[in-house]
Amino acid sequence: MLYRFLVLLAALCLVACEQVINRGPVGGATIELTRLRDGALIYTGTTSTVASVVEAQGESAWASYSDAVRLQRLGRRALPATLPVEAQAWYLLTARGGSDYDPDGDGLLDNETGEPVQGTIRALLRGSQLGATAVAISPLTETAYLFVADFVGELTDDELAITLDEVAADLVADANNSGAVDYQDLLYSNRLLFTDATLRLRSAGLSALAFAIEAGTPEEGLQVLVRGVTSRNAPRLVAEARYASEIHQPIIRTRCESCHLEGGLGARASNNVVVRDTDPDYAARNTENFRQLVFSFGAEGVLERARGIGHGGGALISPSDPEYDDFEAWLNLL
């Protein structure tokens, strides 16, 4: 029974498998599926176009479809019968080029050639998420990808999953009504199935990203847009791990604890309160403490105080100290 259901799914793939959507569906995009950890190429293909759908389903079927149904069938990845994927492993799906059939996002098939998309749209997917119905490879998945891209090597597979759930909580609502907001909601936040109002996308900045992708904006420019819509500059787990390995001992414990532990001179006179490393959550708590300080004063404002500018505690570190650059880099992750 289950087996027959799976065969049916594969046969109906033009309806069921992932869809590349920038403003509207992107047909004729080159799809590349690689294994995240070693970059091994698993699969290449292209997304469905008007020509390929007409060929597969027939002229008369196409003619009978409404615009909404036509858009549903475009920009789909053709699913091969079997893919050598592991359910728990992470994969990167990259869609390059192609053309957007609804660049003004009004739900109508504006013309049958579409507007060229210059950039790439990527999505991180677990093996178990490949081929799932309603998954959209979109500016949302590109945002999540760009947010973690520089830090993937510092995260385990499970930490990557936690990080993507946290990014999703910044960006989308509970699209699949599971009672919690997680990465699955981000994958299901499909502009063709839901209106922007029902999706309750957290940020209008995502439209800017869609236009930037269409225009082929270089990655540094996209990164700036991404940091504008996420509440952190780097994954929380990366910031906490670097706190424990690079920041706690040489900086906080050695230079700040004497005044900024609870009850200390600095802690009593300000919001900068740190905890000792005997606390099992010290890395998380101290990282969050500094995240709040960066939120109030900016990374440079925190550094200035540590250098003794406008700081009751005087100068504790100088740019010539070897740890200064690490401290600055870490503050900029928050």
Cβ proximity to ligand HEC: between 36 and 273 the closer is 273
Cβ proximity to ligand HEC: between 51 and 265 the closer is 265
Q: Is 316 in the site for ligand HEC (CB under 6 A)?
A: yes
Cβ proximity to ligand HEC: between 187 and 302 the closer is 302
Q: How far apart are CA 331 and CA 248, in angstroms?
A: 13
Q: How far is the CB of 183 from ligand HEC (least distance, A)?
A: 34
Within 274-313, the residues that bind ligand HEC by CB under 6 A are 293, 302, 305-306, 311-313
198-to-110, 161, 180, 181, 322 alpha-carbon distances in Å? 23, 25, 16, 14, 51
Q: How far is the CB of 236 from ligand HEC (least distance, A)?
A: 20
Burial class (CB in 10 A: 0-12, 13-18, 19+), 153: exposed
Q: How far is the CB of 232 from ligand HEC (least distance, A)?
A: 19
Among 26, 317, 331, 334, binds ligand HEC (CB under 6 A): 317
Maximum distance among all Cα pairs of the chain, rounded to whole angstroms: 80
Cβ proximity to ligand HEC: between 181 and 306 the closer is 306
Q: Measured in whole angstroms, how far is the alpha carbon of residue 257 from the centre of its chain? A: 35
Encoded tokens for 122: 């990527």
Contact 147, 230 (CB under 8 A): yes
Q: How far is the CB of 279 from ligand HEC (least distance, A)?
A: 18
Cβ proximity to ligand HEC: between 55 and 295 the closer is 295
Cβ proximity to ligand HEC: between 209 and 274 the closer is 274
Cβ proximity to ligand HEC: between 229 and 306 the closer is 306
CB-closest chain residue to ligand HEC:
313
Encoded tokens for 127: 């093996």
Burial class (CB in 10 A: 0-12, 13-18, 19+), 74: buried
Contact 314, 286 (CB under 8 A): no
Tallying the residues shown for the chain, one arrives at 334
Q: Is 318 in the site for ligand HEC (CB under 6 A)?
A: no
| 179 dihedral zone (left: phi>0; alpha: psi -120 to 50; beta) | left
Determine the residue type at 180: A
Q: How far is the CB of 330 from ligand HEC (least distance, A)?
A: 11
Size of the site for ligand HEC (CB under 6 A): 21
Q: How far is the CB of 246 from ligand HEC (least distance, A)?
A: 14
Q: How far apart are CA 47 and CA 63, in angstroms?
A: 20
Encoded tokens for 180: 């919690």
Within 213-272, the residues that bind ligand HEC by CB under 6 A are 251, 255-256, 258-260, 265-266, 269-272
Give the residues lining the site for ligand HEC (CB under 6 A): 251, 255-256, 258-260, 265-266, 269-272, 293, 302, 305-306, 311-313, 316-317
